[in-house]
Homo-oligomer: A and B are copies of this chain.
Amino acid sequence: MDRIGKSIDLLMETYSSFGMVNHSGGANLPGRANIARIVGGLDELLFPGFRENQGLDHSNLRLVTAEKVNHLALELIREVEKSLAFSVREGTLSCGHGGCHAAAELIVGSFFEELPAIRHALSLDMEANFRGDPAAKSVDEVILSYPGFRAITVHRLANYFWNAQVPLIPRMMSELVHASTGIDIHPGARIGESFFIDHGTGIVIGETSVIGNNVKLYQGVTLGALSVKKEEANRKRHPTIEDDVTIYSHATILGGDTVIGQGSVIGGNVWITESVPPNTTVYTSAGEQVLMQRDR
């Protein structure tokens, strides 16, 4: 197989000729497997006793928690530092006097201080999931198996790092949960309390979406942009959904100025590009449907 030897040479040439190579004498980008492991660890911290195979009890809970927090802090600092250093190289960020390691420590330190608040938000989401789905038999079932609840869990983590202006990691987190749930929430989206997604596959929530409290979304809903011009990247391009809105499956709502008013209900398959006033129900007459009896 001498061809193999030659192929290596050819491949090496493409590495120097057209890029897509990342090296600087050390692992310098956050690793997908690392981020996955970190998200898994945070998930254990958020819902102690729900993910572990080994027994947890009152006497060991503190030691277990301390171990996990220390471990995750280490891993997070390393990945965040790599992300910040990436942006410094790109020229889009400066790490300040202390350097990127110190900056990463600050961000991660604040993150762990935020975890109790995130847990509180998730307890409200869990309630909303249980109330919202007649098929849910217990809140434990929600924590163990609801993809929409997994999506909002990861979103609340990713959104913290997005707000802390950490590059790459938030998107890697949201894509992780997109991959396993089919729910694509951009980490920049602002989502209120008691959020409920049912089934979820195909949902897209864009970067500048703003979602109020007690909102329910069903599978296939898109909160998208009307314009996809690069130069409008800094505008609000995605809709605002006010409190207490329900949006049924496969509805599409587009545009940064589009506001779905409080308490409105958007029917399945509805296509909306303009604002809807509060307390409005929108459904589609769905065009004419044709029924054609066949002989057998």
Contact = CB atoms under 8 A, between A and B. Distances in A.
- Copies of this protein, total: 6
A167 B268 CA distance: 31
A182 to B, nearest CB: 5
Contacts of A52: 27, 31
B279 A116 contact: no
Interface string A44-76: 011111111111111111111111011101100
Interface residues of A, number: 156
Interface in A219-268: 219-220, 222, 224-225, 227-233, 237, 249-250, 252, 254, 263, 268
Contacts of A112: 3-4, 7-8, 11
A29 interface: yes
B48 A23 contact: yes
Contacts of A45: 11
B287 A287 contact: yes
B49 A1 contact: no
21 contacts: A4-B63, A4-B69, A4-B112, A20-B46, A23-B49, A28-B49, A64-B70, A70-B70, A90-B138, A92-B138, A134-B225, A134-B227, A134-B237, A141-B168, A179-B181, A184-B201, A201-B202, A201-B203, A250-B252, A272-B289, A281-B294
